[in-house]
Structure 1
Amino acid sequence: MDENNQTKKSGVAAAQAAVKEIEDRERREIRRRKRRILLAIIAFILLILAGIATLLTLSIRSQLDFSRKADRSPTVQIADFSGTIMTNVQGHYSQDVSLITFPERLQRVFIVAADPGFYHHFGAGFSDVMRILSGDAAPGSTITMKVARSFFEVPASGSIRNLEEMLVALWLEARFDKDTILRSYLERRYVGSGIFGITAASRIFYGVPAHKMSLHQAAVLAAAMNDPARLNPLQFPRASAQAANIILQKMATGNTLTAAQINALMRDVPQLEPRSAREDGQEQYVIDLVMDEVARRVGYTSKDLQVVTSIDHDLQEMAQSAVNEVSRVRLRPRGADQAALLAISPDGRVRAMVGGTQYDPVSRNRAWNVGHYPGRMIKILPYYYALNENPDPAQWVPDTRREVEGWKPVNPDRQYRGQVPLRDAFARDVNTVPVELTHKFGLENMRDFARKVGIQSPLSNDIRTVVGLDPVTLPDIARLHTLSLNGGISPDITLINEIRSTAEGHPLLYERVTRKKDKVLTDEAMLAVNSMLAGVTDPQVRLDRPFVGFGARAGRGSDAWFAGFTADLYAVVWVGNDDGSPAQSIRPDVEVASLWRLFMLDASQGFSIRSVARGTSQRLIEQDGVSDMWKRHWVDPNPPLQNNNP
């Protein structure tokens, strides 16, 4: 009995052992299968990541340009719309900056200004990584990331580009030493005015080689590299000098300079010795603006470029001649030292531009980026809004002097008629009606409408927006006035048609493309606007064809305007003084109108004579804002460039 029980127990134990062995074998097999699956998943993920990394690498490499032309600075050939060469610009791109000859004290200025921790990071800072992960489109802050940005053939912004720049920056740090990266930064960083790098900038701004710059001059360039749009020393000398002083103070904090040395270096304005004005005279305003846009569109390059602008060289010469003649004979004797003119075709292409009565390298372009008090030039904005709501220029509007949102407007003639037709209110240049219309439709709605129209200058948060007390630029006024010429759409005012490299095949780097936009004015409102403007046109200002034109005085006599258009060309003229002093004897409808008329009489030759309404209708049918005259000239979209200059 005991033996049987013992045998049974042994059999059960053996069976259990066998079952356990089978279960262990099955568990091992399951674990092996899971490991194989896990390894397969990991391998698949690694394969995908490798593929993504490869594609990303190839994508980034395809966007980079590491070519160098160390023997000379690239040439930028600038032509008008028909291909006639206006000028060749050289020496704006620095080549082969040498840290051996460039003093270490000057190197330190640029490091302190741009990236104090340059020698202690691996290409990107923690803030850069967090900014990219958060999707912030702000560009990278380190010198290495800025160098990486300069190697991309097409400038761009956004979180994706920032990620690409960071990867390139990490590669640069792994591949090159810090001195090589710093040299590239000093060579390739944009300074402003179409100038890249310290050797070109020091020669153009100061007239000296880079290694002979003073510490303050170097700090001025370092500040401009941080913000070329607002700290270009030629355009903003006091702001750039102040920014340079702050950089030098940071060097004192780092024990690089003593407080006494800093005080001795401080300056209110930069030590500028810019190259003298070119023989091209006022045309240089166009050249400077073209070079600045080429810098933004293409970035740093070592390849020669061909730039076709929208400028009509004949019209440009007419504009310069008109500004010079009328300024000498009629404007300066009456106390106005400066004048500016901007002429565009209805689709926004700049055909002629004069930024001042004479070119000065240390001045801003008065026809492009200088704000002037517009007065009546901008008061048309609420009239547009009202005509969109009710396209009847004879509709009655209140003309009463009452306080609106803290403002109590005064009409120029001190007369108030209670109720007046809309067109009569605009013709009389009253101040009460724009204020009343803004109050009726809402100030915020009016500000939003101004942005849709294309006014880019800063606007106040009160009624000043619509009574001409906010300075605006000539392009702002041009966008506003040409709405009815351009089918109710705000035109993109541009100066460049295309940019090509001179490399084999002449690859296209940039081409103007008309953007799809919604109408700002309805068809009915456009007809009403043309009717309203016809009623304000001075009959004494005669052309040989139908036109619209009116003048304005603003800024308590500091600014005088005349603007108007034919079926094919719009021009706006500003007259005044840089210091804002009044020129009380300047009459918009006489002296300023004579400048506008002199230009428009010559510039309109070659256009077919047609009414403004007919020209607008034909452009809408053809869906083309370029006039017949320019289309006749522009037969070949890529014409051979012809040099008319000896």
Structure 2
Amino acid sequence: MLRLFRLVVLLGVWGGLAFGAALLFFTWDMPRPEEALVATRRPSVTLEATDGRLLSTSGDLYGERVRLADLPAFVPGALMAVEDRRFRSHFGLDPVGLARAAAANWRAGRVVQGGSTLTQQLAKNLFLTPERNMRRKVQEALLALWLESRFTKDQLLEIYLNRVYLGAGAYGVDAAARLYFGVPARRLSLWQAAILAGLPKAPSRYNPRAAPDAAMRRGAEVLDAMAAAALITTTRARQEAELMVLPPRPSGDAGWFADWVQDDLAESFPGTGDLVLRTTLDLKMQAVVEARLGALLAGPGAAAHVTQGAVVVLQASDGAVRAMAGGRDYRQSPFNRATLARRQPGSAFKPFVWLAALERGMDPSSTVSDLPLTLGGWSPGNGRWRARGEISLEDALAHSINTSAVRLLLAAGGAKAVAAVAERMGLHGRFADNASLALGTAEVTLLDLVAAYAPFANGGLRVTPYGIARAESAERVLAVPLTAPTRVISQEHAAEMRRMLAAVVERGTGRAAAVPGQRVGGKTGTTQDSRDAWFVGMSSRWVIGIWLGNDNATPMDDVSGGSLPARLFRDILEETAR
């Protein structure tokens, strides 16, 4: 008997030591739960279109903290039906569920069912890394027991619903509801709740924005699970599945605009944490720009060996960017040809030469020679234009006469004087210090060129292009650093420039840009061998700039600013006016 007692004591001691060693092995690097409950994440940036619709998100997106009592009962119900039906009755671990999953996996010969509880999932999501091994599973179980001892079942559900990752950077049901459906979590419908409840299994695979069909199939499975758990009827499950319609995915190619407006966020809003930014982007106009540019590049553009293009739509009065396409497909090439590519604008630069001439005392009816000209061995050509001798400034701009442009540049004080005028209007570029500047040998971006035309359209005010209209952080409205329009030319000169630019469209090189019923103006631009083709046009409200060409600067087939770019301007303006 004594010997048996000694054996039991010995086994108990060694067993205790073994258990202690095992416990130490499994827990030595386990995180402290109290500390891990404090969330650490990347600040999020949410971009909204001008009408409030979601444009894009980056970082880790959290919505409002929701309380269980504020949510429709089917939100937690859908989650428990598909993830853990015995959640209310187990103690954090579910032996019955583990046994059922093991049997199902044995029959299938592979893993078809998991046995982890919602509490275990919460422990893993809050505290542990994604790696799978026995040590992590034991830690998960221990943390699940700790959570069950610390919180009530309702509190655990609340924590889970507020912290679970649901794809696309969204953490918690409120962030996901706003991201995917445009509503707060308390206003979710049954089928929307079912789609969200299906996401924890595979947030990337069932992401409603990236894989809408898979998301709806998974949502239907959740509805069936709710019917099997007697939370809803089979008929209701079928009816809700038929109601599933995911909103259209936000424009993919608006990524150029999203990248542009986020370039200087750290300087504009330092240390503000999460940001919600209402932008100036008009989704309808953006869709028109993308569709029209894409159709042109796929059709007549492809036939003329045009592989790329860029479009900017600017509100003339204040510089708000309403649409921006930096190429034909953002996913294939995120390089923004509207804001980063510097190309020669050709004759699209000439309005600044004409403005310089007006400021030297000329007017649209003043005359200038269109006869051949030679400067130091350089003779600018006039294409097919037949010289008339003396023509008005209006006609010279309408027909884009090169020799007249050079003469006006010289009369206005030379290249430096004209460059100063262009810079005053907002055009930043590399300006040649010779007479070739009159023909557009500077290197500029499309966005800068469009902004520099705005004073012609708005009565003489220089504008700074901007894309953020309102900023909010932690429900606090932030000051948005904007540059107010400033007068750079007189109203009289602006009106004279509008008159001459209208003549370009009415009877000159830009006739293809004419829009029935609207008075528009603009200027064409074509560089040597048709390497670049431009049209910058304006209506009573917009300035729209278009560039077509190839990234490697190879020539297009007889494409000029007055052909495809002018037609694209007309198409965009006509469709947005409907």
What is the TM-score of this pair, normalised by structure 2?
0.56
Equivalent residue number for residue 545 of structure 2 = 572
Q: How far has the Cα of 1:555 moved from its partner?
A: 3.3
Equivalent residue number for residue 297 of structure 1 = 268
Residue of structure 2 aligned with 1:526, choices 479, 494, 497: 494
Aligned: 1:284 with 2:284: no
RMSD: 2.4
Equivalent residue number for residue 508 of structure 1 = 478
Is the CA contact 1:355–1:368 (under 8 Å) kept in the aligned structure 2?
A: yes
Equivalent residue number for residue 319 of structure 1 = 289
Aligned: 1:386 with 2:363: no
1:175-218 residue CA offsets vs partner (Å, 9 max, x unmatched): xxxxxxxxxxxxxxxxxxxxxxxxxxxxxxxxxxxxxxxxxxxx
Is the CA contact 1:551–1:593 (under 8 Å) kept in the aligned structure 2?
A: yes
Residue of structure 2 aligned with 1:545, choices 494, 512, 518: 518
Q: How far has the Cα of 1:407 moved from its partner?
A: 4.0
Q: How far has the Cα of 1:322 moved from its partner?
A: 1.0
Within 2, Cα distance between the matches of 1:432 and 1:407?
A: 11
Within 1, Cα distance between the matches of 2:258 and 2:334?
A: 14
Residue of structure 2 aligned with 1:466, choices 430, 434, 438: 438
Q: How far has the Cα of 1:352 moved from its partner?
A: 0.3
Within 2, Cα distance between the matches of 1:350 and 1:535?
A: 26
Equivalent residue number for residue 71 of structure 1 = 40
Q: How far has the Cα of 1:513 moved from its partner?
A: 4.4
Is the CA contact 1:73–1:302 (under 8 Å) kept in the aligned structure 2?
A: no
Within 1, Cα distance between the matches of 2:556 and 2:463?
A: 32
Q: How far has the Cα of 1:518 moved from its partner?
A: 3.2
Within 2, Cα distance between the matches of 1:497 and 1:279?
A: 19
Residue of structure 2 aligned with 1:307, choices 274, 277, 295: 277
Equivalent residue number for residue 59 of structure 2 = 90
Equivalent residue number for residue 493 of structure 1 = 465
Is the CA contact 1:342–1:571 (under 8 Å) kept in the aligned structure 2?
A: yes
Within 2, Cα distance between the matches of 1:84 and 1:77?
A: 11
Q: How far has the Cα of 1:552 moved from its partner?
A: 2.7
Aligned: 1:590 with 2:573: no
Is the CA contact 2:464–2:483 (under 8 Å) kept in the aligned structure 1?
A: no
Is the CA contact 2:425–2:488 (under 8 Å) kept in the aligned structure 1?
A: no
| 1:111-150 pair list within 5 angstroms | none
Within 2, Cα distance between the matches of 1:88 and 1:469?
A: 40
Distance 1:539 1:466, change over 3 A: closer
1:535-566 residue CA offsets vs partner (Å, 9 max, x unmatched): 21045533442222443321321111222121
Within 2, Cα distance between the matches of 1:490 and 1:80?
A: 25
Q: How far has the Cα of 1:304 moved from its partner?
A: 0.7
Is the CA contact 1:543–1:597 (under 8 Å) kept in the aligned structure 2?
A: no
Look up the SS of the partner of 1:512 in the other structure.
Answer: coil
Within 2, Cα distance between the matches of 1:414 and 1:543?
A: 27
Look up the SS of the partner of 2:408 in the other structure.
Answer: helix
Within 1, Cα distance between the matches of 2:274 and 2:573?
A: 36
Q: How far has the Cα of 1:484 moved from its partner?
A: 2.1
Look up the SS of the partner of 1:478 in the other structure.
Answer: helix
Distance 1:507 1:345, change over 3 A: closer
Is the CA contact 2:511–2:562 (under 8 Å) kept in the aligned structure 1?
A: no
Distance 1:281 1:83, change over 3 A: closer
Q: How far has the Cα of 1:302 moved from its partner?
A: 6.7
Is the CA contact 2:394–2:500 (under 8 Å) kept in the aligned structure 1?
A: yes
Within 2, Cα distance between the matches of 1:514 and 1:279?
A: 30
Within 2, Cα distance between the matches of 1:524 and 1:416?
A: 30
For 2:389, give the aligned amino acid: G
Equivalent residue number for residue 86 of structure 2 = none
Work out the percentage of aligned pairs sharing the same amino acid: 25
Unaligned runs of 5+ residues in structure 1 are 1-68, 93-277, 606-646
Q: How far has the Cα of 1:450 moved from its partner?
A: 1.6
Residue of structure 1 aligned with 2:451, choices 464, 479, 489: 479
Within 1, Cα distance between the matches of 2:511 and 2:420?
A: 35
1:101-160 residue CA offsets vs partner (Å, 9 max, x unmatched): xxxxxxxxxxxxxxxxxxxxxxxxxxxxxxxxxxxxxxxxxxxxxxxxxxxxxxxxxxxx
Residue of structure 1 aligned with 2:49, choices 80, 91, 94: 80
Aligned: 1:423 with 2:394: yes
Is the CA contact 1:391–1:528 (under 8 Å) kept in the aligned structure 2?
A: no
Within 2, Cα distance between the matches of 1:433 and 1:585?
A: 24
For 2:294, give the aligned amino acid: N
What is the TM-score of this pair, normalised by structure 1?
0.51
1:368-415 residue CA offsets vs partner (Å, 9 max, x unmatched): 121122111001111011123335211111223333466432222264
Is the CA contact 2:351–2:497 (under 8 Å) kept in the aligned structure 1?
A: no
| 1:367-406 pair list within 5 angstroms | 367-390=338-361, 392-404=363-375
Distance 1:70 1:451, change over 3 A: farther
| 1:24-423 pair list within 5 angstroms | 71-90=40-59, 280-299=251-270, 301=271, 303-346=273-316, 347-360=318-331, 363-390=334-361, 392-404=363-375, 407-413=378-384, 415-423=386-394
Within 1, Cα distance between the matches of 2:392 and 2:343?
A: 29
Is the CA contact 1:404–1:436 (under 8 Å) kept in the aligned structure 2?
A: no
For 1:393, give the aligned amino acid: P
Is the CA contact 2:47–2:55 (under 8 Å) kept in the aligned structure 1?
A: yes
Unaligned runs of 5+ residues in structure 2 are 1-37, 62-248
Within 2, Cα distance between the matches of 1:306 and 1:576?
A: 36
Q: How far has the Cα of 1:362 moved from its partner?
A: 5.4
For 1:403, give the aligned amino acid: T
For 1:532, give the aligned amino acid: M
Equivalent residue number for residue 45 of structure 1 = none
Equivalent residue number for residue 644 of structure 1 = none
Number of residue pairs matched? Answer: 347
Q: How far has the Cα of 1:91 moved from its partner?
A: 6.0
Within 1, Cα distance between the matches of 2:332 and 2:274?
A: 24
For 2:430, give the aligned amino acid: P
Look up the SS of the partner of 2:419 in the other structure.
Answer: helix
Within 2, Cα distance between the matches of 1:562 and 1:91?
A: 41
> Which region of structure 1 is more displaced relative to structure 2, 585-594 or 304-313?
585-594
Within 2, Cα distance between the matches of 1:466 and 1:296?
A: 37
For 2:518, give the aligned amino acid: R
Distance 1:85 1:405, change over 3 A: farther
1:221-271 residue CA offsets vs partner (Å, 9 max, x unmatched): xxxxxxxxxxxxxxxxxxxxxxxxxxxxxxxxxxxxxxxxxxxxxxxxxxx
For 1:420, give the aligned amino acid: I
Within 1, Cα distance between the matches of 2:348 and 2:542?
A: 18
Look up the SS of the partner of 2:458 in the other structure.
Answer: coil
Look up the SS of the partner of 2:395 in the other structure.
Answer: helix
Within 1, Cα distance between the matches of 2:466 and 2:60?
A: 25
Distance 1:88 1:363, change over 3 A: closer
